[in-house]
Amino acid sequence: MKYFQKSNGVLVPLSVPVRIDGRWVFQPTVEQAASLHAYPRNLTVPAPSPAEGEMPYALEWQLQDGEWRRVWQYKPVPAPGVAEYDAVMESHLLQERTERGYTTREPDAYLSSVNPRWAQDARDWVAHRDAVMEYALEMINAVQSGQRQPPTLDEFVDGLPGIVWTYDENQEDA
């Protein structure tokens, strides 16, 4: 069995061999380890379930029933940073254009295309990308000015505008 001693709030493995009563001991008993303030570490006790908007974090190790156990505390889940919002926004845009078949370049590359569908997709894309950016900037400005709390990433994604492709595939047949 491994035993641990608490040093400056951190558990440190008991170094063996240890000198007890003038003898070197390579495998101390529970009683011998306890005489050195060394106890087993219990890693099987999970963190308690947090309340909505909170997350557990390990505060310290505490001696309970002859073993070291984690003491948990809760703190608010930190709001996502600008980089996280940006990443989900870019993922949203990538998914939309990929679903339309634009996998290697953005549709706006076709603004001057002679292909009617590609040219219309480019116009739709530019307008949509602007709408997404305006939504994101309005959200960032509202948070920074204190008008609202930062949204969760799910709330942010739910508010992102979805694209509407306006080209009618049937008009080619007319």
Q: What percent of the chain has pLDDT over 90?
A: 73
Q: Are residues 86 and 164 in the same domain?
A: yes
pLDDT value, residue 51: 86
Q: Are residues 72 and 146 in the same domain?
A: no
Query: In this structure, what token pair is assigned to residue 33?
Result: 């380890």
Q: Are residues 159 and 134 in the same domain?
A: yes
98 CB contacts (<8 Å, ≥6 apart)?
Answer: none
Last residue of a domain, one of 23, 55, 76: 76
Distance CA 122, CA 106 (A): 8
Q: Are residues 55 and 22 in the same domain?
A: yes
Query: In this structure, what token pair is assigned to residue 168?
Result: 């009618």
Nearest residue to 41 (alpha-carbon basis) of 4, 89, 82: 4
Q: Are residues 36 and 112 in the same domain?
A: no
Note the pLDDT tens digit of each residue in 130-155.
999 999 999 989 988 999 989 989 99
Q: Is residue 174 part of a domain?
A: no
Last residue of a domain, one of 32, 51, 76: 76
Q: Are residues 86 and 71 in the same domain?
A: no
Q: Are residues 60 and 115 in the same domain?
A: no
Distance CA 136, CA 144 (A): 12
Last residue of a domain, one of 15, 47, 76: 76
Inter-residue contact 96 to 162 (CB < 8 Å):
yes
DSSP 39: B
Q: How many domains does the chain have?
A: 2
Q: Are residues 86 and 151 in the same domain?
A: yes
Note the pLDDT tens digit of each residue in 83-99.
999 999 999 999 999 99
Distance CA 99, CA 62 (A): 53
pLDDT value, residue 27: 93
Q: The domain containing residue 145 runs over which residues?
A: 82-168
Mean pLDDT, range 109-131, rounded to an integer: 97
Mean pLDDT, range 155-161, rounded to an integer: 96
Q: Are residues 114 and 145 in the same domain?
A: yes
Does this model's pTM top 0.85? My answer is no
Q: Is residue 55 part of a domain?
A: yes
Q: Are residues 11 and 68 in the same domain?
A: yes
Distances (CA, A) of 169 to 10, 96, 121, 173: 67, 18, 12, 8
Q: Are residues 10 and 69 in the same domain?
A: yes
